[in-house]
Amino acid sequence: MKRMSYDSLIELSRKHQLPIAAVDENTAPADKKQSQIQILLHHSRRNSTSLSVENLIKRATSSNTSPLPTDPGQSLISQLKLRPSRSKIPPPTSIKPPNPRRLYSQAVSADKQNRPGQALNLLLILKPLTPLDGRVYSRLSRLYKSTGQVELARAVLKEGLEVCRGIDRGYLLHGLSSFEIGADRIELLKEAIDLGVVNARHALGMEYMKNNELLKAFNILDFESKNHRIYHLKGEVLRKMRKYVEAEEAFFSGLKVSSNYGKSFFYTSLGVLRYELNDLSTARQFFEKSIEHNSRHAQGWLALGYLEEEGKVWERALRVFEGDIRRDGKWVMVYASYARFLKERGELSQAVKILSKAAIIFENDIKLIIDLGKVLKAKKDELKAREVYREGMERFKDVELWRAAGELEMDLMQYESARRIFQAAVRFKGGSRREVGILLAVWGVCEWSLKEEKRAGELFEQAEGRLEGNEESWVTLLHAKMEWSRENRHMASYLTKRAINLDPEAEGAYRFWAKVLEEDALVKEETVDDVKKRADALMIERDMNEAVGEVGIGTSWLMRKRGKRNEQGLDERWALVVD
């Protein structure tokens, strides 16, 4: 604190009506002056500290705040008179600072109980008290992002990077990587790994696996760790490499270090592995264990139900989810899991009820708004979905929310309206490269539908520059299909081959290339057949690989077994638009 001059202290005393004569008259002038300074400094410290920290904490944690004294100077003197002391000169006292650990715990609790405003206030108070704590910046960023303030989310991470060192800096680099894609994202993750952030290894492994660089993914994950996420992803990589024995060992190793909640994902993955080996009896046992350890594990219930094909499994699941809502309704994941279960079951009306209730309770959760709109759209209630999106758009400038709203307008054949939405959303600050890239691609389809092929081609090219791997391949294939529709077959062939080079596992690209080749008289018939066989092989492989994702088991492979179709994914949805 900057030292104040005596004259400044005198002025402060007049401002707060603090009597300077509150010192023994027998005190020597020099001592008297020093005593006055002691009193004023004490008052200055007490008053400024209570306003800047204590009262802010009270306001953040409770609506019932104590009123400030109307006469702070007189209140101080009355306190001094009550303090027993041989001397009338009060010793300078220090206000006990808030406990940072307790403050952080309160912020985490507020965050989990869907009080983002309170959590933000607490963290903003805590930040200057612990300026080198990377956790504070990371949680602030996540809260900003979850409430649609993406630009602030990115900025607070960069602010933390200027002061944090060591592993705290690593956490911030890991967080910042979520705003990047491709080489930029990989470089940030590698730097975070060098600083000791284990979860950055998991993220980098996911990045490599997404791009089908399985050996790179395995190498980054193959190290001694007690992190259950590492074991789980390592097992998935090995399963995809068809190394089932090693994959099973990784899953069992992860079970030893995982919580009961985490064990459910390992048992589900083991069930999928055994299903692929046609060991249905053991697969069933693993699925049962997954829901024993986590009754809210929607994908575990779905896998077991589709395997058993029995109504009793669904009845059990419904009872569990209903009980969770009554008992633990303050957690957003309870509602999200229940809605996911109902949606996969095709019970869309019930899913809408659950998501509508959740969207009211968790009003700042943008993902809930998007999910509710998608379920309403699947239920063929497009007008209600439009209303949900419009209400969300009034509150949040979020690229993904506005993209979902634009896609709905396209489904309603309102392409001009969709174009206006995309034009506004692309100018939002803070959207990640990937989010903007997908937005540009969908906008390109919109322009194509409006017969603006030149503009569509420009948008596809811009999107390709912002995406990587299979997503860039998907956009390139869209571009190829548009060129094919314009009878520009040479460019269509070139773009299709480029899409395959970007993602050798893109079975959709092989199928389209076969269609292109069939009309080329110079191509031999067996060449076309080879391309078709490759597409069929990749389709089978994809059905197996999509069984397990980052958060658990997918169900499309079991649903196909029962003659059902899963909700269309991104590739399939836009294939319908352009075929």
Residue 13 has pLDDT above 90, yes or no: no
To the nearest whole percent, how much of the chain has pLDDT over 70?
66
CA distance 352 to 391: 16
- Residue 369 pLDDT grade (very low, low, confident, very high; cuts 50, 70, 90): very high
Report how far residue 435's alpha carbon sits from residue 125's, in angstroms, rounded to the nearest whole number.
Answer: 32
Mean pLDDT over residues 512-525, rounded?
60
Q: Which of 262, 194, 192 is nearest to 226 (CA)?
A: 262
Mean pLDDT calculated for residue range 369-391: 93
Q: What angle do CA 468, 472, 476 make, to 5 degrees?
A: 155
Query: CA–CA distance from 255 to each of 74, 139, 155, 260 (Å)?
Result: 64, 28, 38, 9
State the pLDDT at residue 462.
93
d(Cα 352, Cα 357) in Å, to the nearest integer? 8
Segment holding 554, helix H or strand E: none
Q: What is the pLDDT of residues 235-249, one digit of tens each?
A: 999 998 889 999 999
The secondary structure of 230-261 as a DSSP string is HHHHHHHHHHHTT-HHHHHHHHHHHHHH--HH
pLDDT at 500: 81
Please give the mean pLDDT across all residues of the chain. 75
How many CB atoms within 10 Å of residue 180?
A: 17
Check residue 387 and give its pLDDT.
93
Range with the lowest mean pLDDT among 179-188, 214-223, 505-514? 505-514
Q: Please, is 256 exposed, middle or buried when counting C-beta atoms within 10 Å of its C-beta (0-12, 13-18, 19+)?
A: exposed
Instruction: Name the helix (H) or strand (E) containing 502.
Output: helix 489-502
Residue 11 has pLDDT above 80, yes or no: no
Mean pLDDT of 319-344: 74
Q: Are 513 and 529 in contact (CB under 8 A)?
A: no
Give the tokens for residue 282: 């053991």
Residue 455 is predicted with a pLDDT of: 94
Compute how many other C-beta atoms are within 10 angstroms of the C-beta atom of residue 521. 5
Helix axis angle for 433-449 and 415-425, nearest 10°, is: 160
What is the C-alpha separation between 214 and 208, in angstroms, rounded? 7
Which residues, including other chains, have CB under 8 Å from residue 500's CB and lie 6 or more apart? 473, 506, 509, 510, 513
How many Å apart are CA 198 and CA 100, to the nearest integer?
25
Architecture of domain 100-183: Alpha Horseshoe (1.25)
At residue 327 the predicted structure's pLDDT band, cuts being 50, 70 and 90, is low
Query: Nearest 5°: phi and psi at 204?
Result: -70, -40
pLDDT at position 77 is 36
Q: Which structure tokens are listed for 561?
A: 């077994």
Please report how the helices 311-327 and 298-308 are oriented relative to each other, as an axis angle in degrees rounded to 10: 160
Q: What is the DSSP letter of 88?
A: S
Enter the tokens of residue 409.
């307008």
Q: How much is the pLDDT for 460?
A: 94
**How many Å apart are CA 566 and CA 344, to the nearest integer?**
8
| Longest alpha-carbon distance in the chain | 115
Q: In the beta sheet, which residues pair with residue 549? A: 552
Q: Which of 13-22, 105-114, 320-329, 372-381 has the lowest mean pLDDT?
A: 13-22
Residue 50 DSSP class: I
The backbone torsions φ and ψ at residue 548, rounded to the nearest 5 degrees and listed phi first, read -125, 130
- Is the pLDDT score of 334 beyond 80? no
**Domain definitions of the chain by residue range:** 6-82, 100-183
CA distance 429 to 112: 27
Tell which residue, 417, 376, 380, 373, has the closest CA to residue 396.
Answer: 373
Q: Which of 37-51, 148-162, 394-408, 564-578 comes out lowest in average pLDDT?
A: 564-578
Has residue 408 got a pLDDT over 90?
yes
Q: What is the pLDDT of residue 519?
A: 61
pLDDT tens digits for 440-452?
Answer: 999 999 999 999 9
3-state DSSP assignment of residue 191: helix
pLDDT over threshold 50, residue 566: no
Q: How many residues does the chain have?
A: 579
Q: Which two tokens stand for residue 38?
A: 């002691």
pLDDT at 473: 87
pLDDT single digits (tens) 107-163: 888 887 778 888 899 999 989 988 888 889 999 998 888 777 878 888 999 999 999
**Alpha-carbon distance 260 to 84, whole Å?**
56
Q: Report percent pLDDT > 90 for the chain.
A: 29
Across the range 425-436, mean pLDDT stands at 83
In the numeric block, which tokens belong to residue 227? 């992190």
Rounded to the nearest angstrom, the gap between the alpha carbon of residue 347 and the centroid of all alpha carbons in its chain is: 26
Radius of gyration of the chain (CA): 31
Whole-angstrom Cα distance, residue 456 to residue 451?
9
Q: Please report which confidence band the pLDDT of residue 310 belongs to, taking 50, 70 and 90 as the band edges.
A: low
Q: Side chain identity at 68, as an amino acid letter?
A: L
**Contact status, residue 447 vs residue 456, Cβ threshold 8 Å:** yes
Question: Which one is predicted more confidently, 459 or 497?
Answer: 459
Could you identify the residue written with the tokens 């008053």? 47
Give yes or no for residue 535 having a pLDDT over 70: no
